[in-house]
Amino acid sequence: MKSTPKEEKWDLEIEPLSGLFDINWRELWQYRDLLGLFVRRDIVSTYKQTVLGPLWFFIQPILTTLIYVLIFGNIAGISTGGVPKVLFYLSGITLWNYFQECLLKTASTFSLNQNLFGKVYFPRLIAPLSIIISNLFKFFVQLTLFLVTWVYFLVKPTSDINPNSTLLLFPIYLLLLSGLGLSFGLLISSMTTKYRDLRYLIQFGVQLLMYATPIVYPLSIAPEKYRWLIQLNPITSIVEAFKYSFLGEGYFSVSGLVYSFVCMLVTLAVSILVFNRVEKSFMDTV
């Protein structure tokens, strides 16, 4: 008699995603140790062979703040709404640096890791997620610098700083920034695997976006006829809410934060759709 072959059992089966919006959350959780290694790699490798090392986390925002104070505050004479110039610019720089780092590094993660992707399998979403998490370390270091400066001016009798209870919403501000940085970066990264010209426009585009965000100026001084254009930027309401919470200067708008949240969800959905479509063949086009 002819014996029937036994079914082979595999410990792991790698299959393509069946739907454009599918994300294997269980698989991401199973690779959490790899995520931790990627996060550690991103933090350690940033300033590993530099003389000053992690001190650059402080030096960069300090130098940028001083330049903004000199150029925009003193030479251009742009008002900061009564808030000390150092504190006003440092608050915007702290938020913008985190969003910018998340977007730019996520946007190039697939091209930078193509050798690794071609040799071993792991959920590709691990790479951009590690960037979002590792940048939190730099963000909290710079946030500490901001808080020290904030407390100094807060206890100073002549300073006109009025923090309020909306400080409790800070985790929401951070979540929105992370989500927008991830979604925009993931979308750009997926598109640059095929349209490589986009990578040359990213740096320029991010610089333009910064000036379309109230970082070096308060939204209140923007002309009324252009203000709605600035408010179309989903980062605007987050930056303004952060300044309002800590400094008492700015516009706190629940509808603006909801708008930023909706933009994050829509962009994230589109980026996942594009990512899942590109992932199946991006090694052939990178």
Nearest-Å Rg of the Cα atoms of the chain is 22
* CB crowding 135-157: b at 16 or more within 10 Å, else e: bbbbbebbbebbeebbeebeeee
Q: Which two tokens stand for residue 183?
A: 């979604």
pLDDT value at residue 254: 93
Question: Nearest-CA neighbor of 275 among 163, 123, 133, 105?
Answer: 123
pLDDT value at residue 18: 47
Note the pTM of the prediction, 2 decimals.
0.85
CA–CA separation, 65 and 94 (whole Å): 10
Residue 103 dihedral angles phi and psi, to the nearest 5°: -65, -50
CA–CA separation, 159 and 84 (whole Å): 7
pLDDT value at residue 145: 93
List of the chain residues with pLDDT < 50 = 1, 18, 20
Contact between 60 and 148 (Cβ < 8 Å): no
pLDDT value at residue 255: 94
CA–CA separation, 249 and 218 (whole Å): 8
2-42 pLDDT tens trace = 555 555 666 655 555 545 455 666 777 787 888 888 888 88
Within 8 A by CB and 6+ apart from 34, the residues are 122, 126
CA–CA separation, 135 and 42 (whole Å): 8
pLDDT value at residue 81: 81
pLDDT value at residue 225: 86
pLDDT value at residue 171: 95
Q: Give the count of alpha carbons within 13 A of 176, CB side only.
A: 24
CA–CA separation, 105 and 69 (whole Å): 28
